[in-house]
Amino acid sequence: MEESRIAQPIGIALDRFIKNNQEQFQYASGELSQLLRDIALASKVVNREINKAGLIDIMGAMGSQNSGGENQQKLDVLANIRFTRALSKGGEACALISEETESYVDLNNDGKYVIAIDPLDGSSNIDVNVSIGTIFSIYRRISPVGTPIQPEDILQKGTDQVAAGYILYGSSTMLVYTTGHGVNGFTYESTLGEYFLSHADLRMPPDGKIFSINEGQSLSFAPGVAKYLDYCKQNGFTARYIGSLVADFHRNMLKGGIYIYPATAKDKNGKLRLMYECNALAFIAEQAGGLATDGKNRIMEIKPSTLHQRVPFYVGSRMMVEKAGSFLN
Ligand code: P6P
């Protein structure tokens, strides 16, 4: 059944849009507004720091590593601080799962929501001025409000998400999110410090001719992946790989396409993280008519076993993801 999508005029401010739609949110509506407001606020601060990165000493590596052993960029750490602080002050979140912290962060036992976030994905692109992004998922806690966080609050399946989104710090900065009633995109107007609806009820083209994959690792791809790439080339598809997941995903969302990060010799389960990268983009893709799998299974059906679990990731236009799967299985 087509869920109700309240049409909103292009140009409406994010706050007003959230208020106009909050009765669609199946839980206490004001809380979602507060959570999204907290995330939007933090993104405005991160956006400002990204835009002046070349002018102040926040480029380059920290000299430390994150939970996955990846070198942290200075802006990774800054972004993590900004989002953690905004969500902590907001009071709605009880726990935060972040790529930048080994365990989850206990925020507030009275909070009703768990946030999973990649504060700044693709941050190695910062120094070369390539688009980067923030990716987030919002879950409802399972254990009683007011009690300590439990493991079941943290390791929830993607189908349990109540909202998800990304911020793309690109030629313009955009916030794109869903609460399960379609996908809407907002463009940031920095002189006003506000996001405005620019892409109402986004729909991912059911098919496409763009494939995004790092073929530098193709020698270690499974045969089915190699065969699918041959199929793309034999049919004259275009290769586009920015090296920044949110940017590649957003382009495929608008133009149609598939993004693939498969298992490789280096990353036996792929490189991308289920909890704070794949689930959020899978939710958005499906809400826009697309599809996300690990090559075989629907991403959002995967039961997480660890916080920083990696999964192979095939996401984009439904017919392309299905076609890729037909070569793999
Ligand atoms: P590779 C960035 O580190 C990231 O997580 C995604 O944003 C991007 O698509 C991918 O990894 C790039 O990885 O191995 O192709 O450099």
Ligand 1 mean position to 327 CA, how many Å? 23
Q: Rounded to a whole number, what is the largest CA-CA distance in the chain?
A: 58
**Average predicted confidence (pLDDT) for the chain:** 92
Residue 224 and residue 184 share a domain: no
Q: What is the pLDDT of residues 228-259, one digit of tens each?
A: 999 999 999 999 999 999 999 999 999 999 99
Ligand 1 mean position to 248 CA, how many Å? 10
Distance between CA atoms of residues 195 and 46, nearest Å: 14
Ligand 1 mean position to 133 CA, how many Å? 12
Residue 186 and residue 234 share a domain: no
138, part of any domain: yes
Indicate which residue's Cα is closest to atom 12 of ligand 1: 243
Indicate which residue's Cα is closest to atom 14 of ligand 1: 214
Q: Which of 199, 220, 246 is the C-terminal boundary of a domain?
A: 199
Q: What is the pLDDT of residues 100-145, one digit of tens each?
A: 899 999 999 999 999 999 999 998 888 888 999 999 999 999 999 9
Q: Which of 218, 245, 258, 264 to mutate to test the pocket of ligand 1 (most atoms within 8 A of CB)?
A: 245
Q: What is the pLDDT of residues 260-295, one digit of tens each?
A: 999 999 999 999 999 999 999 999 999 999 999 999
Residues with CB under 6 A from ligand 1: 121-122, 124, 214, 243-245, 271
Indicate which residue's Cα is closest to atom 2 of ligand 1: 122
For the question of whether the overall pTM of this predicted structure is more than 0.85, the answer is yes
Any idea what the CATH number is for the domain that residue 274 is in?
A: 3.40.190.80
Q: Which of 199, 231, 256 is the C-terminal boundary of a domain?
A: 199
Residue 192 and residue 61 share a domain: yes
Residue 133 and residue 37 share a domain: yes
Residue 120 and residue 147 share a domain: yes
Report whether pLDDT(58) > 70: no
Indicate which residue's Cα is closest to atom 4 of ligand 1: 122
On whether the CB atoms of residues 96 and 138 are closer than 8 A, the answer is no
Average pLDDT over residues 10-16: 91
pLDDT band at 55 (very low <50, low <70, confident <90, very high): low
pLDDT of residue 56: 64
Residue 170 and residue 31 share a domain: yes
On whether the CB atoms of residues 60 and 51 are closer than 8 A, the answer is no
Ligand 1 mean position to 268 CA, how many Å? 15
Percentage above 70 pLDDT, the chain? 92
Distance between CA atoms of residues 82 and 189, nearest Å: 20
Closest approach atom of ligand 1 to CA 266: 14
Indicate which residue's Cα is closest to atom 16 of ligand 1: 243
280, part of any domain: yes
Range of the domain at 285: 210-328
Q: Which of 165, 180, 199 is the C-terminal boundary of a domain?
A: 199
pLDDT of residue 53: 72
86, part of any domain: yes
pLDDT of residue 3: 44
Residue 230 and residue 95 share a domain: no
Residue 89 and residue 215 share a domain: no
On whether the CB atoms of residues 187 and 172 are closer than 8 A, the answer is yes
The residue whose two tokens read 């700044």 is 120
Strand partners, 95: 106, 114
Within the chain, residue ranges assigned H as helices are 14-21, 29-51, 74-90, 151-154, 223-234, 245-255, 279-287, 318-328
Of the two residues 181 and 74, the one the predictor is more confident about is 181
Indicate which residue's Cα is closest to atom 13 of ligand 1: 243
pLDDT of residue 10: 84
223, part of any domain: yes
Dig out the tokens for 181 from the structure: 């009633």
Residue 161 and residue 64 share a domain: yes
Q: Could you give the C-alpha distances from 324 to 115, 226, 228, 310, in angstroms and in order?
A: 31, 10, 6, 20
Question: What's the per-residue H, E or C state across the chain?
Answer: CCCCCCCCCCCCEHHHHHHHHHHHCCCCHHHHHHHHHHHHHHHHHHHHHHHCCCCCCCCCEEEEECCCCCEEEHHHHHHHHHHHHHHHHHCCEEEEEECCCCCCEECCCCCCEEEEEEEEECHHHHHHCCCEEEEEEEEECCCCCCCCCCHHHHCCCHHHEEEEEEEEECCCEEEEEECCCCEEEEEEECCCCEEEEEECCCCCCCCCCEEECCHHHHHHCCHHHHHHHHHHHHCCCEECCCCCHHHHHHHHHHHCCEEEECCCCCCECECCEHHHHHHHHHHHHHHCCCEEECCCCEHHHCCCCCCCCECCEEEECHHHHHHHHHHHC
Residue 128 and residue 18 share a domain: yes
Q: What is the pLDDT of residues 166-205, one digit of tens each?
A: 999 999 999 999 999 999 999 999 999 999 999 999 999 9
Give the number of domains in the chain. 2
The residue whose two tokens read 């726990």 is 95
Q: Which amino acid is it at 162?
A: V
**Which residues neighbour 217 within 8 Å (Cβ) at sequence distance 6 or greater?**
264, 265, 266
